[in-house]
Amino acid sequence: MIKQIIINAIKKAIGESLGVLPMVEVEIPKDEAFGDAATTVAMALAPVLKKPPRRIAEELLPKIHAAGGPFERIEVAGPGFINFTFKQDYWYRSLGEILSNTEDVLRTDIGKGKKVQVEFVSANPTGPLHIGHGRGAAVGIALSNLLERAGYKVQKEYYINDAGRQVRLFGLSLYAKYQQRLGNEIPFPEDGYKGGYIDELCDEFIDRFGNKYLDVPSTECVDFFSEWAYQRMLREIEKDLGDFGVVFDRWQSEKAIYSMGKVDDAIAELKERGFIYEKEGALWFRSTAFGDDKDRVVRKTDGEYTYFASDIAYHREKLERGFDSIINIWGADHHGYVQRLEAVIEAFGFPRKRMKVVLVQMVSLLRHGQPVQMSKRAGEFITLREVMDEVGTDTSKFIFLTRRADSHLDFDIEVAKERSSENPVYYVQYAHARISSIFEQAEQRGINTSNLAEPQLSLLSLPDEIRIIKKLCHYPMVFELSASSLEPHRITYYLQELSGLFHPYYNRHRVISEDINLTVARLFLCKALHTVLKEGLGVLGVHAPQKM
């Protein structure tokens, strides 16, 4: 990999003269005139060595040359950059490796088998998933794919909030709707769940049970209504997610955490550790001991645990399942929760950094540029199902992943629906489909594209071709950075850039020509492109179509 080659060269060169080694930053210069890769070590070393960076760089130069490497040119430039230009040969070799050793080259193993858990979506099972959950799902699955490919052992988990007041209220809402539907005018609960899906749920309930519960008071059957309603909802959520291409390894019920006594256990352990105290008839967690603004109640004066209490137990349980790292993907409106949960992690004696929280910002839904008002209370919102049906899963996912998770997203349904250049996903998919089509043509002319005979890669000498090869070789760096920073959108951007090199090339030059050697070489290049496009789209959970 490019980065490693530079680091090794610098290490060798510096190792001889100095004992110490600073962080070697390697970057791909924006301007091709500055070579293929550059490092800033000389600048970083300047304050240490008390010498001007340019001089350090110049002194380093002969040593780097002596250390050897696939370099055509090494130059000192600007304030003290050391710019490397690789030999053409190196690029051809790397291109070959992308195809001969695809997974090892494209999927840098930074995980080394470490166990990671990614918890995402985890929407209350009191209603259908909406577009915001869709974004969480897209980020979660992309992140999981990313980490899996980076050598982590990933478990995808959905936490079901089935214990709290909300599911109870959900059950009461259904009960009220049921009574009303059968002619019994009882009041609808304050803050109850409204919206069309409650009606549908009620229809189904009546089909199933008729008027069996008409004369049963709510106090006696609300548990049943709740249970039935949220189980029903959960199945729908699972179905929606499945159709969205998101399948979880594990569904953890909050209720189960309670019934197995894990909440009691967790609080007891915190008590032993001295982080639980009683005040004004409630139990408090001393989160301020770990930097939180205030201590938090875990058990109310009425004896009920708070939501936070089960979260404590849940996170303890996750940590004890032996993950090297647990990642929570939350809506940004939960950011206030991060600190107190980090306190929990530390209170149990785990390093704070073992838990990472990825905050996903809200999605503003638009139609033709006009905001679509959504009100959860009134039950008026666009569901993920509607978005999937209207704009498609690939497009939705891609759009969700074209921004950093923590930046706001405007999602215009009407624009997303258009099969036009407004949709970057087509741009990338189209590149993949076009290459498939080229292969088909080549096959028709009797060329075996799945096993290209001895391509003479040096025939790929056009600037367009060299540029594509280099870009392909950048993928591992983008991938690694994307995985280590938990930022899948970097892949999205890379794919657009890569496609942006291919389409012009396709327009200017013919892959299949009378010159069989050139044709084979170009097919080889296309194959590498095909491979990387598919790999990248795979990370995003987006299809790489053969035809469009």
Residue from 109, 249, 440, 515 that binds RNA (CB under 7 A)?
Answer: 440
Rounded least distance, CB 216 to RNA, Å: 25
Rounded least distance, CB 230 to RNA, Å: 12
- Can you list the positions of beta strands (E) in 6-96? 26-27, 37-39, 71-77, 81-86
Quickly tell me which residue has 């990338």 as its tokens: 428
Interface positions, 95-134, toward RNA (CB under 7 A): 124
390 binding RNA? (CB under 7 A): no
Q: Distance between CA atoms of 263 and 254, rounded to whole angstroms?
A: 10
- Nearest by Cα to 400 from 360, 433, 439: 360
Q: Distance between CA atoms of 219 and 150, rounded to whole angstroms?
A: 52
Residue from 321, 335, 376, 377 that binds RNA (CB under 7 A)?
Answer: 335
DSSP character at residue 80: T
471 binding RNA? (CB under 7 A): no
Q: In what order do the strands lie in the sheet with 81-86?
A: 26-27, 37-39, 81-86, 71-77
Q: In what order do the strands lie in the sheet with 370-371?
A: 370-371, 363-367, 409-412
Dump the DSSP string for 489-532.
HHHHHHHHHHHHHHHHHHHHS-SS-S-HHHHHHHHHHHHHHHHH
> Which lies closer to RNA via its Cβ, residue 149 or residue 432?
432
Question: Torsions phi, psi of 119, nearest 5?
Answer: -105, 125
> Which lies closer to RNA via its Cβ, residue 145 or residue 423?
423
Interface positions, 226-285, toward RNA (CB under 7 A): 279-282
Give the pair of three-digit tokens for residue 531.
Answer: 């491979």
Rounded least distance, CB 399 to RNA, Å: 9
Instruction: Tell me if 69 sits within 8 A of 11, measured CB to CB.
Output: no
Dump the DSSP string for 368-380.
TTEEPP-BTTTTB
504 to 523: interface string for RNA, x by CB under 7 A: x-xxxxxxx-----------
Residue from 20, 31, 272, 322 that binds RNA (CB under 7 A)?
Answer: 31
- Helix (H) or strand (E) run with residue 298 in it: strand 296-299
32 binding RNA? (CB under 7 A): no
Instruction: Tell me if 459 sits within 8 A of 518, measured CB to CB.
Output: yes
Residue from 183, 190, 514, 547 that binds RNA (CB under 7 A)?
Answer: 547
Q: Is 187 exposed, middle or buried (0-12, 13-18, 19+ CB in 10 A)?
A: exposed
Rounded least distance, CB 124 to RNA, Å: 6
> Which lies closer to RNA via its Cβ, residue 70 or residue 164?
164
Residues contacting RNA: total by CB under 7 A: 97
406 binding RNA? (CB under 7 A): yes
Rounded least distance, CB 243 to RNA, Å: 20
Q: At how many degrees (to 10) do helices 196-209 and 165-181 cross?
A: 70
Q: Distance between CA atoms of 196 and 192, rounded to whole angstroms?
A: 13
Residue from 77, 99, 110, 452 that binds RNA (CB under 7 A)?
Answer: 77
Rounded least distance, CB 436 to RNA, Å: 6
Residue from 181, 403, 417, 543 that binds RNA (CB under 7 A)?
Answer: 403
Segment contacting RNA (CB under 7 A): 4-12, 37-45, 95-103, 245-253?
A: 37-45
Q: Distance between CA atoms of 188 and 135, rounded to whole angstroms?
A: 32
Interface positions, 359-378, toward RNA (CB under 7 A): 361-362
Segment contacting RNA (CB under 7 A): 11-19, 175-183, 245-253, 301-309?
A: 301-309
How far is residue 517 from each of residues 89, 408, 440, 455, 457, measured CA to CA in Å? 18, 50, 18, 7, 9
> Which lies closer to RNA via its Cβ, residue 144 or residue 519?
519
496 binding RNA? (CB under 7 A): yes
Query: How many other CB atoms are found less than 10 A from the CB of residue 195?
Result: 19
DSSP reduced 3-state for 149:
helix
Quickly tell me which residue has 């003479």 as its tokens: 456
> Which lies closer to RNA via its Cβ, residue 104 or residue 333?
333
Interface positions, 472-491, toward RNA (CB under 7 A): 477, 481, 484-485, 487, 489-490
> Which lies closer to RNA via its Cβ, residue 180 or residue 317?
317
Question: Torsions phi, psi of 201, nearest 5?
Answer: -60, -40
State the amino acid at position 50 in one-letter form.
Answer: K
Residue from 20, 30, 190, 514 that binds RNA (CB under 7 A)?
Answer: 30
46 to 75: interface string for RNA, x by CB under 7 A: xx-----x----------------------
Quickly tell me which residue has 């609808």 as its tokens: 188
**Residues whose CB falls within 8 Å of the CB of residue 370, separated by 6 or more in sequence, listed in order:** none
> Which lies closer to RNA via its Cβ, residue 23 or residue 453?
23
Residue from 164, 189, 245, 538 that binds RNA (CB under 7 A)?
Answer: 164
409 binding RNA? (CB under 7 A): yes
Residue from 16, 320, 410, 443 that binds RNA (CB under 7 A)?
Answer: 410
Residue from 334, 378, 462, 516 that binds RNA (CB under 7 A)?
Answer: 334
- Helix (H) or strand (E) run with residue 231 in it: helix 218-243
> Which lies closer to RNA via its Cβ, residue 78 or residue 261?
78
165 to 204: interface string for RNA, x by CB under 7 A: xx--------------------------------------
Question: Torsions phi, psi of 360, nearest 5?
Answer: -110, 120
197 to 236: interface string for RNA, x by CB under 7 A: ----------------------------------------
Residue from 122, 145, 155, 161 that binds RNA (CB under 7 A)?
Answer: 161
